């Protein structure tokens, strides 16, 4: 598939006929493992990818380095790639559009964008976020690539007030993003069946939730009407947790079970650097 075909295929995966389970990779081999295991699309994890490159989650990484990492992952995949662009790497709507254009040109056919500032942990004004999202909708028209816009809100985490007020702000923002013309909304922090059900029923629109402890299993999420469940950084947490357990086993016991049981081979590892379409 070419990029436009990938974008259209990715868009169809959000039709709510089934739950799109979207694994988040942090580098080339993790992305290829997910594709080889049969996932219809792959995403990047901002935290996982940025830390793997030596930067904390956020926008401290040089944008060119960020785009290069996205491009290397896109190059080896035959399935659609969604890129987490954090807050958009821009101080203005125009700057965000320029930054995201480079990510799309690198091969992404979907993006996540946040509505809070990492430094202050404060939500951006709703009007400002709508202007940024509007610039991306225009960009989609200008490029001709119908990339999917997944608008994340962190109101449940950072809005003022009690839990009820935070949920109301998350719904207010998600409705505004929906009405503007994004393709999916992503209320970060939503995890209980009751809150997910209430959110989905209110929005009547594709909703993304993230894997975390306590999240209902996929069949239950489907029953609740969730359109998309993403791994977030959980896969990188799990992989690094395995490395920690393996290190402790060798140091404390002198054995190698965690390093050898279920491991891939050298040839399998090497093949993960080869573009899937050429495999």
pLDDT in tens, the chain (279 residues): 899 999 999 999 999 999 999 999 999 999 999 999 999 999 999 999 999 999 999 999 999 999 999 999 999 999 999 999 999 999 999 999 999 999 999 999 999 999 999 989 999 999 999 999 999 999 999 999 999 999 999 999 999 999 999 999 999 999 999 999 999 999 999 999 999 999 999 999 999 999 999 999 999 999 999 999 999 999 999 999 999 999 999 999 999 999 999 999 999 999 999 997 644
79 Cβ partners below 8 Å, 6+ apart?
Answer: 6, 35, 39, 40, 41, 42, 276
Domain count, the chain: 1
Instruction: Give me the sign of the Cα torsion angle 16, 18, 19, 24.
Output: negative
Q: How far is it, in rounded angstroms, from Cα 221 to Cα 212?
A: 13
At 277 the pLDDT is 64
At 60 the pLDDT is 96
Q: How many other C-beta atoms lie within 10 A of the C-beta of residue 247?
A: 12
Judged on CB neighbours under 10 Å (0-12, 13-18, 19+), 254 is: exposed
Q: For residue 153, is it within any domain?
A: yes
Q: Which DSSP string corresponds to 95-137?
A: HHHHHHHHHHHTT-SEEEE-SEETTTTEEPPHHHHHHHHHHHH
Question: Chain-centre distance of CA 205, in angstroms?
Answer: 18
Q: Are 26 and 37 in contact (CB under 8 A)?
A: no
Q: For residue 250, is it within any domain?
A: no
Q: For residue 246, is it within any domain?
A: no
pTM attached to this predicted model: 0.96
Q: For residue 45, is it within any domain?
A: yes
Judged on CB neighbours under 10 Å (0-12, 13-18, 19+), 161 is: exposed
Q: How far is it, in rounded angstroms, from Cα 68 to Cα 92?
A: 22
Q: Are 151 and 179 in contact (CB under 8 A)?
A: no
Domain span holding position 145? 3-233
CA distances from 48 to 44, 131, 214, 232 (A): 8, 28, 21, 8
Q: For residue 270, is it within any domain?
A: no
- Assign residue 148 the CATH number of its domain: 3.20.20.60
Q: For residue 278, is it within any domain?
A: no
Q: For residue 240, is it within any domain?
A: no
């Amino acid at each position: 598939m070419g990029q436009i075909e990938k974008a259209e295929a990715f868009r169809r995966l959000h039709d709510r006929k089934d739950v799109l389970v979207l694994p988040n990779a942090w580098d080339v081999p993790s992305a290829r493992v997910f594709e080889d295991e049969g996932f219809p699309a792959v995403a990047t994890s901002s935290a996982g990818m940025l830390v793997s490159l030596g930067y904390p989650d956020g926008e401290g990484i040089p944008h060119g380095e960020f785009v290069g990492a996205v491009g290397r992952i896109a190059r080896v995949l035959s399935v659609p790639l969604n890129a987490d662009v954090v807050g958009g790497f821009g101080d203005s709507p125009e700057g965000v559009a320029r930054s995201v254009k480079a990510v799309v040109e690198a091969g992404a056919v979907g993006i996540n964008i946040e509505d809070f500032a990492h430094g202050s942990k404060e939500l951006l004004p709703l009007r400002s976020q709508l202007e940024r999202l509007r610039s991306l909708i225009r960009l989609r028209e200008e490029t001709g690539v119908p990339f999917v816009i997944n608008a994340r809100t962190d109101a449940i985490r950072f809005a003022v007030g009690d839990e009820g007020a935070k949920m109301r702000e998350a719904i207010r923002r998600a409705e505004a993003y929906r009405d503007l013309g994004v393709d999916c909304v992503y209320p970060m922090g939503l995890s209980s069946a009751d809150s997910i059900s209430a959110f989905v029923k209110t929005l009547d629109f594709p909703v993304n939730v993230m894997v975390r402890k306590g999240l209902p299993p996929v069949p239950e999420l489907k029953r609740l009407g969730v359109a998309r469940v993403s791994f977030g950084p959980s896969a990188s947490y799990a992989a690094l947790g395995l490395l920690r357990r393996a290190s402790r086993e060798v140091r404390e016991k002198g054995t190698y079970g965690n390093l050898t049981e279920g491991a891939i081979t050298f040839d399998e590892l090497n093949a993960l650097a080869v573009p899937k379409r050429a495999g």
